[in-house]
Protein backbone atom coordinates (compact mmCIF):
# COMPACT_ATOMS: atom_id res chain seq x y z
CA UNK A 1 0.00 0.00 0.00
CA UNK A 2 1.28 3.44 -0.93
CA UNK A 3 1.88 5.58 2.17
CA UNK A 4 0.08 8.90 2.25
CA UNK A 5 0.17 12.19 4.13
CA UNK A 6 -2.44 10.75 6.53
CA UNK A 7 0.06 8.01 7.47
CA UNK A 8 2.58 10.66 8.50
CA UNK A 9 0.03 12.34 10.75
CA UNK A 10 -1.37 9.09 12.22
CA UNK A 11 1.11 6.28 11.43
CA UNK A 12 -0.83 3.69 13.52
CA UNK A 13 -4.16 4.41 11.82
CA UNK A 14 -5.13 1.62 9.41
CA UNK A 15 -6.18 2.95 6.02
CA UNK A 16 -8.38 0.76 3.84
CA UNK A 17 -8.18 1.00 0.06
CA UNK A 18 -10.84 -0.05 -2.43
CA UNK A 19 -10.87 -3.88 -2.77
CA UNK A 20 -10.50 -3.97 -6.57
CA UNK A 21 -9.45 -0.49 -7.66
CA UNK A 22 -6.80 -0.04 -4.95
CA UNK A 23 -4.70 3.09 -5.50
CA UNK A 24 -6.60 4.00 -8.67
CA UNK A 25 -9.28 5.74 -6.59
CA UNK A 26 -8.95 9.05 -4.80
CA UNK A 27 -10.57 8.08 -1.50
CA UNK A 28 -9.86 5.83 1.47
CA UNK A 29 -11.70 4.75 4.61
CA UNK A 30 -10.47 5.75 8.04
CA UNK A 31 -11.84 4.30 11.27
CA UNK A 32 -13.75 6.60 13.59
CA UNK A 33 -12.15 6.19 17.00
CA UNK A 34 -13.12 8.83 19.54
CA UNK A 35 -16.92 9.11 19.34
CA UNK A 36 -17.59 10.29 22.88
CA UNK A 37 -20.21 13.06 22.82
CA UNK A 38 -20.44 12.75 19.02
CA UNK A 39 -23.74 12.24 17.24
CA UNK A 40 -23.43 10.68 13.78
CA UNK A 41 -25.76 11.41 10.89
CA UNK A 42 -24.64 8.82 8.33
CA UNK A 43 -25.64 8.73 4.67
CA UNK A 44 -26.88 5.34 3.56
CA UNK A 45 -24.89 4.12 0.56
CA UNK A 46 -26.87 0.89 0.25
CA UNK A 47 -30.01 -0.03 -1.63
CA UNK A 48 -32.30 1.35 1.10
CA UNK A 49 -31.78 5.04 0.32
CA UNK A 50 -34.44 6.87 -1.69
CA UNK A 51 -33.58 6.59 -5.36
CA UNK A 52 -34.17 10.24 -6.26
CA UNK A 53 -33.77 10.59 -10.02
CA UNK A 54 -30.67 12.54 -10.99
CA UNK A 55 -29.76 13.70 -14.47
CA UNK A 56 -27.44 16.27 -16.03
CA UNK A 57 -28.41 19.82 -14.94
CA UNK A 58 -30.07 18.56 -11.72
CA UNK A 59 -29.08 20.36 -8.52
CA UNK A 60 -26.60 18.70 -6.17
CA UNK A 61 -24.75 19.89 -3.08
CA UNK A 62 -21.17 19.35 -1.93
CA UNK A 63 -21.37 19.36 1.86
CA UNK A 64 -17.98 20.14 3.38
CA UNK A 65 -15.53 22.70 4.66
CA UNK A 66 -14.12 24.96 1.90
CA UNK A 67 -10.94 26.65 3.10
CA UNK A 68 -11.67 25.09 6.52
CA UNK A 69 -14.76 27.28 7.01
CA UNK A 70 -17.33 25.99 9.50
CA UNK A 71 -20.73 27.39 10.32
CA UNK A 72 -22.07 27.55 13.85
CA UNK A 73 -18.82 26.14 15.21
CA UNK A 74 -18.88 22.72 13.53
CA UNK A 75 -21.47 22.65 10.75
CA UNK A 76 -20.55 22.11 7.11
CA UNK A 77 -21.05 24.54 4.24
CA UNK A 78 -23.32 23.51 1.37
CA UNK A 79 -21.91 24.42 -2.05
CA UNK A 80 -24.57 24.00 -4.72
CA UNK A 81 -24.00 23.02 -8.32
CA UNK A 82 -25.36 20.82 -11.08
CA UNK A 83 -24.65 17.37 -12.46
CA UNK A 84 -22.52 17.87 -15.58
CA UNK A 85 -22.29 14.34 -17.01
CA UNK A 86 -24.53 11.29 -17.03
CA UNK A 87 -24.58 9.99 -13.45
CA UNK A 88 -24.98 6.36 -14.54
CA UNK A 89 -22.14 6.42 -17.09
CA UNK A 90 -18.52 6.15 -15.94
CA UNK A 91 -16.48 9.18 -16.93
CA UNK A 92 -12.98 8.67 -18.33
CA UNK A 93 -13.16 4.92 -17.65
CA UNK A 94 -13.53 5.42 -13.89
CA UNK A 95 -16.58 5.08 -11.60
CA UNK A 96 -16.97 8.86 -11.42
CA UNK A 97 -19.23 11.56 -12.79
CA UNK A 98 -18.69 15.30 -13.09
CA UNK A 99 -20.48 18.20 -11.45
CA UNK A 100 -20.36 21.91 -12.24
CA UNK A 101 -19.91 23.51 -8.83
CA UNK A 102 -17.73 26.18 -7.26
CA UNK A 103 -16.32 23.74 -4.71
CA UNK A 104 -12.91 24.70 -3.38
CA UNK A 105 -9.95 23.53 -1.31
CA UNK A 106 -11.00 21.70 1.80
CA UNK A 107 -13.98 20.05 0.16
CA UNK A 108 -12.19 16.97 -1.16
CA UNK A 109 -13.75 14.01 0.59
CA UNK A 110 -17.04 15.85 1.05
CA UNK A 111 -20.38 14.16 0.49
CA UNK A 112 -22.16 14.97 -2.75
CA UNK A 113 -25.91 14.70 -2.31
CA UNK A 114 -29.18 15.28 -4.10
CA UNK A 115 -31.34 16.99 -1.47
CA UNK A 116 -35.00 17.72 -1.98
CA UNK A 117 -37.05 19.62 0.59
CA UNK A 118 -40.10 17.39 0.22
CA UNK A 119 -43.28 17.32 -1.82
CA UNK A 120 -43.49 15.52 -5.16
CA UNK A 121 -40.16 13.91 -6.05
CA UNK A 122 -39.36 11.85 -9.16
CA UNK A 123 -37.64 8.55 -8.45
CA UNK A 124 -35.06 6.68 -10.52
CA UNK A 125 -37.66 4.21 -11.85
CA UNK A 126 -39.66 7.11 -13.34
CA UNK A 127 -42.39 7.07 -10.72
CA UNK A 128 -43.12 9.97 -8.41
CA UNK A 129 -43.88 10.02 -4.73
CA UNK A 130 -44.70 12.61 -2.12
CA UNK A 131 -42.33 13.11 0.80
CA UNK A 132 -43.62 14.91 3.89
CA UNK A 133 -40.18 16.32 4.62
CA UNK A 134 -36.65 16.49 3.29
CA UNK A 135 -35.21 13.53 1.41
CA UNK A 136 -31.55 13.08 0.53
CA UNK A 137 -29.71 10.73 -1.81
CA UNK A 138 -25.99 10.23 -1.29
CA UNK A 139 -24.37 10.32 -4.75
CA UNK A 140 -20.69 10.02 -3.89
CA UNK A 141 -17.58 11.78 -2.64
CA UNK A 142 -16.12 14.95 -4.12
CA UNK A 143 -12.51 14.54 -5.23
CA UNK A 144 -11.49 17.95 -6.54
CA UNK A 145 -11.70 19.84 -9.81
CA UNK A 146 -10.54 18.46 -13.16
CA UNK A 147 -8.02 21.33 -13.22
CA UNK A 148 -7.45 24.64 -11.47
CA UNK A 149 -9.08 26.65 -14.28
CA UNK A 150 -12.40 24.78 -14.17
CA UNK A 151 -15.42 24.50 -11.90
CA UNK A 152 -15.98 20.93 -13.13
CA UNK A 153 -15.45 18.58 -10.21
CA UNK A 154 -14.96 14.82 -9.95
CA UNK A 155 -17.35 12.70 -7.85
CA UNK A 156 -16.58 9.08 -6.98
CA UNK A 157 -19.88 7.19 -7.18
CA UNK A 158 -21.73 5.99 -4.09
CA UNK A 159 -21.67 2.33 -5.13
CA UNK A 160 -17.86 2.47 -5.32
CA UNK A 161 -17.75 3.96 -1.81
CA UNK A 162 -20.14 1.19 -0.71
CA UNK A 163 -17.79 -1.47 -2.11
CA UNK A 164 -14.96 -0.13 0.05
CA UNK A 165 -17.15 0.01 3.16
CA UNK A 166 -18.44 -3.54 2.52
CA UNK A 167 -14.87 -4.82 2.12
CA UNK A 168 -13.79 -3.54 5.55
CA UNK A 169 -16.96 -4.47 7.43
CA UNK A 170 -16.97 -8.07 6.14
Domain 44-158 fold is: Thrombin, subunit H (2.40.10)
Please tell me the predicted confidence (pLDDT) of residue 93: 92
Residue 51 to residues 57, 159, 169, Cα–Cα distance (Å): 17, 13, 24
The angle formed by the CA atoms of residues 47, 52 and 57, to the nearest 5 degrees, is 130
What average pLDDT values come out for the chain (170 residues) when binned by 10 residues?
45 69 78 81 66 94 90 89 95 95 87 93 92 91 91 93 78
Contact 146, 154 (CB under 8 A): yes
> What pLDDT is recorded for position 121?
92
**Is the Cα torsion angle 52, 47, 160, 15 positive or negative in sign?**
positive
pLDDT at 11: 55
What's the pLDDT at 74? 83
Q: Is the distance from CB of 120 to CB of 108 less than 8 angstroms?
A: no
What stretch of H or E contains 97?
strand 96-101
Q: Are 28 and 15 in contact (CB under 8 A)?
A: yes
Query: Rounded to whole angstroms, what are the CA distances from 14 to 17, 28, 158?
Result: 10, 10, 22
Amino acid sequence: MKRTQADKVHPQMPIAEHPTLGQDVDFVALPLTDLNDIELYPYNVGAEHPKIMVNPTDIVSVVGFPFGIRSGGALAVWATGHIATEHDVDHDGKPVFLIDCRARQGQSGSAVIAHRTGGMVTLEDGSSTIFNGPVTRFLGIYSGRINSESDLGIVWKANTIGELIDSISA
